[in-house]
Every structure is written in C-alpha cells, then in structure tokens.
C-alpha cells in the first residue's frame, strides 16, 4: 500500500512539469502527507491539464458521509474495475498524483519496531502515482437524497500493484507509477480499457532508490524535511510479509 508520501514541490514547478494550469491556491510543503490531507492532483479536460487540490481518501458518490474516505486511500489494480467503491471512477475519472517520494515500513531483524524507509526516484524526478478521483455531496435529512446545492467535496485514491525487485525487499505492494509517455492515455476518459489495465504494472526495477529514516515519520504531526534524512544503512533482512 501507499499510506504516507512527500509533497514538497511548489505548484508552479509542478505546472511546468506536467504542462498544466496551476491550482487556485497552493499547499504548504508537506513531508508527511497522511490520509484526509489535501494533495495536488492532475486532471485533464477537453483543452488542457489542470492541477487541483483534492482530499486524499476517495469517497464514493453514494457514501453517506466522508468517514469512509480514510479507508479508501489505495485501490488495488487487480480489483479496481469491479469494486463498487472504485469502478465508476476507474472508468471515467482517472488522475495522476505527483509526489517527491513515499514511505513504507518493514520488519528488520533485531529491531522491535518496524523500520520506515523513504523511497524516491533514482534520477530525482517527481514520482507520478496513478490515481482516481470522485466528487461527493452530502445528503439531506432523509439520509437518501443528495443535496445538489451543497458544495461538493472532491477526493482521490492511489492505485497499487505488486512490487518490483526494489520494493519487494520491504513490502508486498507498491503504488502504480506512470511515465510521461502514458499520462495522456491514463487521463483520457475514452481510452481503451485493456490499454489502461496494461499500465497498472510494477515500475522498472532500476527506477527507485530507498533508504532507512527516523521513526519521527510515524507521527503525522511531524511535517518537516528532516523526515527524509537518511540513517546508516541497515542489513537487507526486511520481512516483506508485512501488511
């Protein structure tokens, strides 16, 4: 899974990188993005790409309230086309979510607590997660009728798949990462479903680097860049069977 990540690049740099329009207002650099935080999302319309700010944790349009979103931060590539919570977004509302890196935790021999690792691209380029988005509105007092006049809440989720060789040393899942050459295909609502399915594969084995970091990242209140400072290397004995 992908439960925490880094979003520190300013919106003007992201707009240039994606060839997109900037969002209406930026976010503070966040080295510990957690579920329900606002994140940058890139979507496409008929004329251009647009960077928006969405809440992380997808809330299906049929949900009674926002609470479900905290459990919907990831969607499995193998089942996303069938799961009721994701299948409509998967068909019609795909997006990409930029990050400067992400975190995973692994068991290490001789260490009681799980060890956090920071994962980033080997070449220093932004990581681009495959994502889905949804628009949700609260319901009226009857609990059934959607309040069409209420301000909508837009939310998103990150797709995950099986790990590549780099990630399998510490975890049994990894986020789906998309290369620039397939962004347009992923974002277009009319792309061939079989082609879209073929994009949800592990990243190349040489794309990512990882290293151990302080357990300070475990506390979501910690948001600074010190969180990605490396610790001395640990033995390569991580247990990939963790959840």
Catalytic annotation, residues: 2, 104
| Dihedral angle over CA of 126, 35, 71, 98, nearest 10 | -20
Tokens describing residue 27: 């976010």
Non-local (6+) Cβ contacts of 190 within 8 A are none
Q: Quick check: 74 and 2 in contact, CB under 8 A? A: yes
Cα 60 to the center of its chain, rounded Å: 17
Which of 217, 230, 5, 240 is closest to 108 using CA atoms? 240
In sequence order, what are the beta bridge partners of 132?
A: 94, 157
Cβ-contact 179, 193 below 8 angstroms: no
- Give CA–CA dist 103/31, Å, rounded: 10
């Amino acid at each position: 899974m992908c439960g925490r990540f880094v979003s520190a690049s300013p919106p003007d740099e992201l707009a240039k990188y994606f060839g997109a329009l900037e969002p209406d207002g930026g976010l503070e650099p966040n080295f510990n993005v957690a579920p329900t935080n606002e994140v940058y999302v890139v979507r496409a319309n008929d004329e251009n790409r647009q960077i928006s700010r969405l809440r992380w944790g997808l809330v299906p349009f049929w949900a009674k309230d926002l609470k479900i979103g905290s459990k919907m931060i990831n969607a499995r590539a193998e089942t996303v086309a069938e799961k009721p919570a994701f299948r409509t977004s998967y068909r019609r509302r795909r997006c990409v979510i930029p990050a400067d890196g992400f975190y995973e935790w692994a068991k290490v021999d001789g260490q009681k607590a799980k060890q956090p690792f920071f994962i980033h691209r080997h070449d220093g380029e932004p990581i681009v997660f495959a994502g889905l988005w949804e628009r949700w509105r609260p319901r009226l007092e009857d609990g059934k009728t959607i309040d069409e006049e209420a301000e909508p809440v837009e939310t998103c989720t990150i797709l995950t798949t099986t790990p590549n060789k780099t990630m399998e040393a510490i975890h049994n899942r990894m986020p789906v990462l998309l290369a620039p050459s397939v962004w347009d295909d992923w974002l277009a609502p009319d792309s061939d479903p079989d082609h879209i399915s073929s994009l949800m594969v592990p990243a190349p084995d040489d794309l990512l680097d990882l290293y151990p970091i302080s357990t300070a990242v475990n506390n979501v209140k910690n948001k600074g860049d010190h969180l990605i400072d490396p610790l001395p290397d640990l033995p390569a004995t991580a247990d990939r069977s963790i959840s």
